[in-house]
Structures are given as structure tokens and as C-alpha cells.
A and B are shown apart, each in its own frame.
Chain A
Amino acid sequence: MRRSHPYMANSAEASRTALLDAVGVSDPDELFRQIPAEHRSDDAITPSRGIASEFELRRMLEGRLRGVASTDSHVSFLGGGYWKHHIPALCDEIASRPEISTSVWGTPSSDHGRNQAWFEFTSQVGALLDLEFVGLPVYSWGCAAGHALRMAARLTGRSVVVIPEGLDRERRLVIETYCGSRELGGSLSIREVALDRATGTVSLEALSAVLDEEVAGVYLETPNSWGVIEADIARIVDAAHAVGAETVVGVDPISLGALASPASFGADIVVGSLQPLGIPLNAGGGVGGFIASRDEERYARQFPTLQVSLAPTRREGERAFGMTLFAQSSYGARELGNDWTGNSVYLWAVRAAVYLALLGPQGMRELATTVARNARRTAALLAEVPGVSVRYADAIFKEFIVDFSQTGMSVSRINEELFARGILGGHDLSGSADGLDGCALYCVTEVTTEDDVTRLITALKEVAAS
């Protein structure tokens, strides 16, 4: 008797036979008559044996993963838009509930609970951002920024976007892809605004030099890719608005436990990363992006996302959640589509909802404060190491540039030595166009302990002396 496969109920002989008999064929192959014989590639495939045993499968995979280093096995100072934060146990529990993890679409009543969790996600992210219109997640922070700049172009009918110098390379490349191609319609061109080397932030003077009436949108981040908090968002927003441009600001949502939202300074569209809100790093697979604006029709009509709205039901006093503005999504618009959506990272919306509900206002405030204090202190301690200096240390949140150039050693060499001592050193910024050879971006969060920092300092002193 054939052995059935655990993933396929009807692979049991009796079930399969019952289906074959009911259909009236002796072999499923008879059902593929539509496919011309010359289209078939049956013999082209190299066969592989299936591992139906869960034990064998697990042993194979775990064996292959053995020896992988991680931010758990090592003390990590890696950041650059992907940050190690504590993930409350409950985030894992809720996200792994099969009702949530296996669902796909459903109706507003059959998948009511998940839809409500989505609504609670948008509500809580909106509360952090002080904005009332929040879309369901897009693929990543870079994708959110790209979409938002395309929104700005449609809103203004213009085609130039301004982004800051020093923007994280991964994000910048995504934004460039979203800007399109000059030979085709609707493309955007990028202008860069220089960062003031003295402050590490966008200066009004530099911005004024690139602003004109061709500019659709100005994108900036706070804290920015050098870890520095923008000091004067209100004036940047005013300058952009003065030439009729939209302002798009990228944020680390964790920072908003302590810092005012860019929206409170007049930013029009705020985007950012979902990853710090209870989502594992997953080697870069733990990312998602959010897009938010004021609840004004002008903006809402340009969102590329799907979004859930609260709505009444046929039963008096009862609420449900349905899709709003569905027709403007690519599902409804087809060849009229401005953008595209589909399966994305919505499970992360549920994780983030649980995360924010657990942290609450106090937790977010304390967390942001702890992160900033730990980072400032670490920066100060690093600056005491001979040959090591830290840039913009009094204006950082959780990341900062550490300059090792005076040690006479390359960042990659230092990182090798740190790794040998159980430490993942900061992200090497050498080779970038920003004149940061010999520098690394270090990240410190609430999970970085005093002992971790002591180990780092000790290791660096050893490395310098070696």
C-alpha cells in the first residue's frame, strides 16, 4: 500500500481512489489533456527524494543552521535601520495562532477579529504619529518612502524629489527604483540635499539651494541614517511648503515614545519601519513599512495601500471593519493603477498591534528614554577609547557614527577581532560616498547592557593594543 504524505489528506489510497472513481479516470494524468504534449517538461527535472518524516526534516534543517551566529549568540551593535529590540513573548504567541497565521482574506464577518487587529494597528501607529489616516503595511521602510514620494508627485503634479545625503544605501536604492525611468512616463528625478557636517542634519541653507517649484516632495528622516535627530523639522517643512512641495518624513517609531511626531511640526506624510515593533530581524526579513497622513481626502485618495475602516453592520449598535477606497488600489485600478499592492507583511501589523498595546504610553516613553540614555552613555564611553571618536554624540537617539580612523586599523579588521571576542561590531560605513572611511554605525538599544558595553570597550582596547 502507498504511504500517504502528511501534508495531503487525499494522498491516502482510499481517498485518492474514491476521487478517481468519482471523476471516472484511472490516472490523474488523463486530466491534463489541455496541455499539449510538446509543452511538458517531465523529463527535464532532476528528481529529489521527499523527506516526509518531520524528525528527519528538522534534523536536516537544524544541522544546516548549526553554527550560525546571531544577535542572540553574540553581543550586537549592528543597526542601520534594522534594530534589535526586546520582543515581548505575547507577540510571538498571538502571531503564531493558526487562525491569524493561516488566514488569507475572508469576509468582514468571518475574519472580523483579524480585521479588528489591523484597525488597532493603524490606530496605535496613528496615535504615535499624531495622524489619523494610516494604511496597512507595505513591504518595507524603503518601499513606504518610495510610495510616499510618488504620492507627493501625484499631489503636486511635479516630478523632482529631494532626499538627504547619507541616506542608508539600501533605502536609497529602493527609492531610486520607485522613481522610475526617464525614458518612460511619470518618472521622478532625485536631488540630494547635503547634510551639514557640523550638525549631521539638513541645514535650511542647503535645502533652500535645492528647492524650487519643480520639487514635489522633500524626504528626510529623524533620527537620520547617521543617527542624528533633526533639530528643526518645522522650518524644513515650512521651506518645502513655501515652494508648494510636500514633506515626507521617515521615523523610527520607537523614538516617538519620547520625541514629538514630525506631524506636529507640519509634516504631510510620515513613513517608517515596523520592524522595531515586536518583529524579529529574520536576516532582513522582519521588515515592513507604514504610510500615514492627516485624514484629508486629498491624501487619502493617493494611498497605494489597502486600509480598513470601522463601519456599522446591519445589527443596531454593532461594528465591523471593511476596506475603504478599495477601487483605487491596484486590485481595482488595473491598467489605471498608480501603484501596486497585494500580499505584503500584514502579519507584522498584528505583531505591532500587540506590541503597542503591551507597551502603552508609559512603556513607549520609558523605552525611548532608556534607549537614548544607553546610547548616549555608550557613545561617551567609546569616545574615551584612544583613537576612537564619536560624531554628533549629543544629538543621537540610538545609532551613532564611531570614527576608528585614528586607530590605524580598518573597521573590517576591528570587526573581525570583535567577532572573535563574541561581539558583532557596528556596520562598516567605509567606501560610501559620504567621506566616512574608517567609520562604523553603532546601534545601542534597551537590550544593550552595561556589561555588553564594558565587553566592547575592553575588546577595543585589546584590539588597539594588539
Chain B
Amino acid sequence: MSAIRRYHAASWDEPVVYELGAPGRRGVVPPASWAPDSDDLFPQSLRRTADADLPELAEYEVRRHYTHLAQQTMGMMGISLFGTCTMKHNPTVNEQITARPEVAAVHPRQDPATYQGLLGIVHSLEGELQNLSGMAAFSFQPGGGADAAYLHTVITRAYFASRGELGERTQIITTAQAHPCNPATAKAAGFEVITLPIEEDGYPSVEALRAVVGARTAALMLNNPDDMGIYNPHITEFIDAVHEVGGLAFYDSANFNGVMTRLRARDLGFDACMYMLHKTFGVPKGGNGPSVGAYGCSEELARFLPGPRVVKIGESYDLVEPEHSVGRVREFLGNVQQLVKAYSWTRAMGTEGLREAADLSVLANNYMEKQLMALPGVTMSFPGKALPRLEMTRYSLEEYTAETGVTGHDVQNRMTDFGIDAFWTSHEPAFIPEPFTPEAGEMWSKEDLDEWIAVLAHVLEEGRRDPELVRTAPHNQVVAQIDGSGLDDPDTWAVTWAAHRRKAAARQPAGS
């Protein structure tokens, strides 16, 4: 077992930017206007009466401040096995290429003839995803995975409206293990949501599905394998059951990493699927975006895709609106710079590389499972079922918490004291008590995995010896554990500096 490293986060006691600088300072000077001066640019009544309350800092002060904030962000500079998010290497070369003006400075309203090379890359990426999914066409417009799920509900509406059935097709079926965005987008789109429970095998039963499918079924939305690393072997029966009643089957490929090149959504029978390019395809997460939920679908649904789509006509590329397009879920082609990165990553890997990444991520998960299950107090979800797991396993600290009173949340905080970023617990509903879900992936080395496991073992041992030490963690982090008791209280929440100052002043005793 590897040694536990000494770690302490950079801690600058960094003020909020409003507490820095001094009146009259500035960090940048805009170019002066070349046009004649004019007093009557705007009517008096429309003018700002006082300058916006923005901080005033010299450039170096802004740089120092935000560099300090960067240093106070662990991100993936420690070890982050943040399950369900599939942490990946983000090659620097991709950042450099997309910073070039041929990507960064292209205006979305340019004539397509003027940026053929960029459109060609977008088109080629679509080809890569068609190859991996079997789907006929992709849209990259959704701004993330949840947005792709919403797009599916929108396309579902359009599909049934085109058949004159929308008034009857009012239900979308998900599972208790589906990402929360699936039921939420279905509800937001106006559908009634039916949630299938997880049975003792770790997945919903075909019987439970058959009991709810019918003439009102519009779509099924689920992921497989799920976040516990369990694959539903009856998935094609699910799809068949939905198809038999005329519904659509959507595959949330959130956990595609472990099955890349092995499974194709269309070949399984799904009508549509989604890939998150900001995770599975090596695009940086940027602290929650810019992200891309690439939405792929069958030939039958392709006519409903949002426009514009990149289409190759002869040797050139053009932008077209599909015949029965739903319009837009957001504007234009989506986060195009991320598409270039995903294409680059995919080409760097090649088919063999993708297969190797899937293999290594599953291998690494099983390696971790072996080590973690040897730790007293650690159990796994649905033990004995569906082994070996795929790229993730969900564990529980229930027994450990019962023994020590130390919770998974405490352990999570304490692990950050050793340079290990927080693990993912579980999406709602957390039906496994005290859950934790590490995902090893293909990037992290065996030594990194060993270090992660050693830190967990160390913290669990600490919790037995000195539970208060773990409960009060973190101790080596930028700041101590947050007191979140006021976060949902209108009198104390403060999402802007102005609100904070006003509320803090109101709390001061009169005259102080």
C-alpha cells in the first residue's frame, strides 16, 4: 500500500474581490472611440445614474486574485475519482487548437462557405459517433446532458404530434436509477412520469415495465449500465415492450465509458441516445461546462432534429434545417469548440484506443473493488449480484457509520485533507445508505488508485480511533467545513455581495 502523502491546500485567506483594490484603479482600458464626442448618445432618463458597483483593481491585482482562487481549487490537480462524471485527461493540445481564430473567432452568422474546415470537423465528429452508436444522425446543440434529455422529450412531442397521437401519449417511463434530469425533463416537457423501482437484482424488472406500458406510453428514458456498474441484461426486452405499444426508447449513455466499442445503442434497438462529450470524449468539464450533450437518433427521428445541421453536399458543407425540425433547444450548432476537442480526442484514441480505455476503466474498477471490499466497514450495493461490475461500483459505509458515527460525508471531507477530491455519493434518491461511488477510469495510474485507496483506509481507521477528527474535517483545506444551516433561509442566503452586505448589516445590533 502506498504511503499517505502530506498535503495542505494553498490558503491565501483570499478576500472577496470587492474587498480588494481602491477607488480609481482599473485593470484594462478599452480603446477610445474614434468618433466625435457627443453629449446626446442616450436620453437622460435612460442613463445609468451611478457607475455599477464593480470592484476597482489594477491588472496585476486581478491576476493575483484569480490565480489565488485557482490555487484554492483542487479540481483534478489532486486525485478525483468522481463517479458518474468519468474524469478524463484533457489534452492541452486541444485547448491550443481551439484557441486559434479559425475556431475561437468564427462568428455563427458567417456564410458556411467561409468556415468549411470547421464545419467539416463537426461533420466528421458526427460520423465518429454514428459509428459508435449506430444512430443515423446527431445534434450537438444541447448544452449538456440534461439538455439532451430535454431535447429527447421535445422530439418525442414532435414525433407523436406528427402522428396525431400526442394528446394520448402522455407518459414517460424512467427508473429509480435514471439520472434526475430524465424524470425532470419529462415533467418539464409536460409528460407524466412513471418511475420503475429497482428490484433485488439491481435493475427494474420486465414485469414492472409491462405493468405500466400501454397506449399512453410516449417514451422510456434510462441508462444502462447504471451508476452502480450493473448492466440490465433484459434491456432489449424493455425496448421491445415499449416498441410494442408504439413508444420511443431513449438511451442515456452517461456510463458509456466502460462499454465503448462494445455496445451500440441503435443495435440494441434504442431510437435515440445521448453522449456527454465533456466527460466520455475527453472534453474538459470546466467546473460544469461548457459541455455538450450529443443527441443521436434513428433515421425516423432525424427529421425532427433541431437545426441547423451540418450536411455534406458533394465536397462542401452546408447548414440545413431538418424537414420537421423541432426548432432549437439552444442557438446555432452548440459548443463548437468542444466538438473540435471531442473529435481530436476520438481521433487520438482510434477504435483500439477506445476499446482499451473501456477495458482499462473496467479493469481499474474491479481492481479497486477488490481492495475496497477488503476494508472493514465497506459494503457494496447489491452484493453478489451482477459481478463483476463495469466501470463503477456503488459502495456503502452504512456498517462503518453504525460502528463509529462517522458518516460518508465526514469521510469525504477528511479525504480532501490528503489531496483526494470529494467522491461522488449518489444521485437522488440515494437508496443505498451512506453511499459512495468512485470511478477509476482509464486515466489515473495504478499508483493514483493505490493512493486513493490508502487514504480511504487511513481515514476509516482515523474515524475509529478519533471520530471527532474526521467529523470536524477538513483540517488541511482552504477553509473549514461549511456551516450550511442558513443556505435555504431567505434571511441569510446571499448569492451576491450586495445581498450579503445588506443582510449582514440587518443582523447587526442597532447602533453598533
Residue in B142, B389, B445, B490 whose beta carbon sits within 8 Å of that of A15 in the complex: B445
Beta-carbon contacts under 8 Å, A365-411 to B: 365-367, 369-370, 372-374, 376-378
Task: Decide: A309 and B184 in contact? CB cutoff 8 A.
Answer: no
Residue in A82, A285, A324, A340 whose beta carbon sits within 8 Å of that of B290 in the complex: A285
**Interchain residue pairs with CB less than 8 A apart (21):** A31-B362, A51-B348, A78-B109, A84-B107, A103-B76, A103-B287, A104-B288, A170-B328, A177-B154, A183-B167, A229-B42, A285-B290, A324-B487, A334-B429, A335-B187, A337-B187, A340-B149, A353-B66, A359-B30, A364-B54, A373-B41
Closest 4 CB pairs of A and B: A50-B350, A337-B184, A184-B190, A113-B72
Residue A350, interface by CB 8 Å: yes
Residue B488, interface by CB 8 Å: yes
Residue A421, interface by CB 8 Å: no
Residue in B74, B150, B326 whose beta carbon sits within 8 Å of that of A340 in the complex: B150
Beta-carbon contacts under 8 Å, B372-409 to A: 386, 388-390
Residue B443, interface by CB 8 Å: yes
Residue-by-residue, is B21-56 near A (CB-CB < 8 Å gives 1, otherwise 0)? Answer: 100111111111111111001110011110111111
Task: Decide: B500 and A35 in contact? CB cutoff 8 A.
Answer: no
Task: Decide: A40 and B367 in contact? CB cutoff 8 A.
Answer: no
Residue B111, interface by CB 8 Å: yes
Residue B428, interface by CB 8 Å: yes
Residues of B within 8 A of A341 (CB): 146, 181
Complex: A371 Cα to B142 Cα, angstroms: 32
Complex: A341 Cα to B26 Cα, angstroms: 35
Task: Decide: A62 and B190 in contact? CB cutoff 8 A.
Answer: no
Residue in A181, A319, A353 whose beta carbon sits within 8 Å of that of B157 in the complex: A181
Complex: A42 Cα to B47 Cα, angstroms: 64
Task: Decide: A340 and B93 in contact? CB cutoff 8 A.
Answer: no
Task: Decide: A297 and B180 in contact? CB cutoff 8 A.
Answer: no
Residue B188, interface by CB 8 Å: yes
16 new A-B contacts, CB < 8 A, other than A340-B184, A365-B51, are A31-B390, A34-B389, A58-B97, A66-B102, A67-B117, A68-B118, A97-B70, A107-B412, A142-B328, A283-B337, A325-B488, A342-B181, A345-B291, A373-B41, A377-B33, A377-B36
Q: Which of B204-212, B231-239, B459-467 forms contacts with chain A?
A: B231-239
Q: Closest B-chain residue to A103, C-beta based?
A: B75
Q: Which of A118-126, A236-244, A457-465 forms contacts with chain B?
A: A118-126
Residue B244, interface by CB 8 Å: no
Task: Decide: A330 and B360 in contact? CB cutoff 8 A.
Answer: no
Residue B215, interface by CB 8 Å: no
Task: Decide: B327 and A139 in contact? CB cutoff 8 A.
Answer: no
Complex: A8 Cα to B185 Cα, angstroms: 35
Residues of B within 8 A of A309 (CB): 487, 493-495
Residue A190, interface by CB 8 Å: no
Shortest beta-carbon distance from A445 to chain B in Å: 10
Q: A82-B109, A110-B416 are in contact. Are A257 and B52 (CB under 8 A)?
A: yes
Residue in A31, A123, A150 whose beta carbon sits within 8 Å of that of B363 in the complex: A31
Residue B110, interface by CB 8 Å: yes
Q: Which of A85-93, A202-210, A213-221 forms contacts with chain B?
A: A85-93
Task: Decide: B479 and A7 in contact? CB cutoff 8 A.
Answer: no
Residue B468, interface by CB 8 Å: no
Q: Which of A16-24, A192-200, A431-439 forms contacts with chain B?
A: A16-24
Residue in B25, B117, B488, B499 whose beta carbon sits within 8 Å of that of A64 in the complex: B117
Residues of B within 8 A of A41 (CB): 134, 262-264, 267
Residue B469, interface by CB 8 Å: no
Shortest beta-carbon distance from B11 to chain A in Å: 9
Residue-by-residue, is A103-120 near B (CB-CB < 8 Å gives 1, otherwise 0)? Answer: 111111111111011111
Residue-by-residue, is A329-346 near B (CB-CB < 8 Å gives 1, otherwise 0)? Answer: 011111111111111111
Complex: A415 Cα to B43 Cα, angstroms: 34
Complex: A51 Cα to B356 Cα, angstroms: 14
Residue-by-residue, is B159-182 near A (CB-CB < 8 Å gives 1, otherwise 0)? Answer: 001000011001000100000110
Complex: A23 Cα to B149 Cα, angstroms: 36
Task: Decide: B331 and A140 in contact? CB cutoff 8 A.
Answer: yes
Task: Decide: A19 and B363 in contact? CB cutoff 8 A.
Answer: yes
Residue B333, interface by CB 8 Å: yes
Task: Decide: B106 and A108 in contact? CB cutoff 8 A.
Answer: no
Residue in A98, A141, A356, A372 whose beta carbon sits within 8 Å of that of B75 in the complex: A98
Shortest beta-carbon distance from A246 to chain B in Å: 19
Task: Decide: A308 and B479 in contact? CB cutoff 8 A.
Answer: no
Residue B330, interface by CB 8 Å: yes
Beta-carbon contacts under 8 Å, A114-172 to B: 114, 116-120, 122-124, 126-128, 131-143, 150, 170-171
Q: A41-B264, A283-B115 are in contact. Are A120 and B184 (CB under 8 A)?
A: no
Residue A456, interface by CB 8 Å: no
Complex: A359 Cα to B78 Cα, angstroms: 33
Residue B59, interface by CB 8 Å: yes
Complex: A82 Cα to B107 Cα, angstroms: 7
Complex: A142 Cα to B332 Cα, angstroms: 11
Complex: A377 Cα to B38 Cα, angstroms: 10
Residues of B within 8 A of A23 (CB): 363, 366-367, 370, 388
Task: Decide: A65 and B328 in contact? CB cutoff 8 A.
Answer: no
Complex: A380 Cα to B431 Cα, angstroms: 66
Residue A271, interface by CB 8 Å: no
Complex: A449 Cα to B494 Cα, angstroms: 42
The listed residue with most A CB atoms (<10 A of its CB), out of B65, B262, B348, B502, is: B348
Residue B104, interface by CB 8 Å: yes
Residues of A within 8 A of B181 (CB): 330-331, 340-342
Residue in B154, B180, B195, B357 whose beta carbon sits within 8 Å of that of A337 in the complex: B180
Residues of B within 8 A of A69 (CB): 106, 110, 114-115
Residue in B72, B330, B479, B487 whose beta carbon sits within 8 Å of that of A140 in the complex: B330
Residue-by-residue, is B466-495 near A (CB-CB < 8 Å gives 1, otherwise 0)? Answer: 000000101001111111101110101111
Task: Decide: B26 and A363 in contact? CB cutoff 8 A.
Answer: yes
Residue in B98, B150, B479 whose beta carbon sits within 8 Å of that of A313 in the complex: B479
Q: A45-B132, A132-B498 are in contact. Are A109 and B445 (CB under 8 A)?
A: no
Complex: A367 Cα to B31 Cα, angstroms: 8
Complex: A380 Cα to B316 Cα, angstroms: 39
Q: A66-B117, A104-B80, A257-B52 are in contact. Are A334 and B183 (CB under 8 A)?
A: yes
Task: Decide: A49 and B350 in contact? CB cutoff 8 A.
Answer: yes
The listed residue with most A CB atoms (<10 A of its CB), out of B36, B73, B91, is: B73
Complex: A435 Cα to B185 Cα, angstroms: 37
Residue B68, interface by CB 8 Å: yes
Residues of A within 8 A of B118 (CB): 65, 68, 283
Residues of B within 8 A of A229 (CB): 42, 46
Task: Decide: B28 and A359 in contact? CB cutoff 8 A.
Answer: yes
Task: Decide: A10 and B495 in contact? CB cutoff 8 A.
Answer: no
Residue B338, interface by CB 8 Å: yes
Task: Decide: A450 and B499 in contact? CB cutoff 8 A.
Answer: no
Shortest beta-carbon distance from A13 to chain B in Å: 12
Residues of B within 8 A of A109 (CB): 9, 413, 416, 474, 477-482
Shortest beta-carbon distance from B423 to chain A in Å: 10
Residue in A88, A102, A231, A373 whose beta carbon sits within 8 Å of that of B38 in the complex: A373
Task: Decide: B285 and A104 in contact? CB cutoff 8 A.
Answer: yes
Residues of A within 8 A of B128 (CB): 48
Q: A7-B282, A257-B48, A324-B487 are in contact. Are A70 and B499 (CB under 8 A)?
A: no
Complex: A318 Cα to B144 Cα, angstroms: 34
Residue B298, interface by CB 8 Å: no
Residue B432, interface by CB 8 Å: no
Complex: A59 Cα to B413 Cα, angstroms: 44
Beta-carbon contacts under 8 Å, B74-111 to A: 74-78, 80, 82, 85, 87-91, 93, 95-111
Shortest beta-carbon distance from A35 to chain B in Å: 6
Q: A105-B85, A184-B170, A363-B27 are in contact. Are A314 and B480 (CB under 8 A)?
A: yes
Residues of B within 8 A of A261 (CB): 48
Q: A174-B329, A354-B66, A363-B27 are in contact. Are A114 and B52 (CB under 8 A)?
A: no
Shortest beta-carbon distance from A209 to chain B in Å: 25
Complex: A450 Cα to B66 Cα, angstroms: 35
Residue-by-residue, is B403-431 near A (CB-CB < 8 Å gives 1, otherwise 0)? Answer: 00000000011001000011010011100
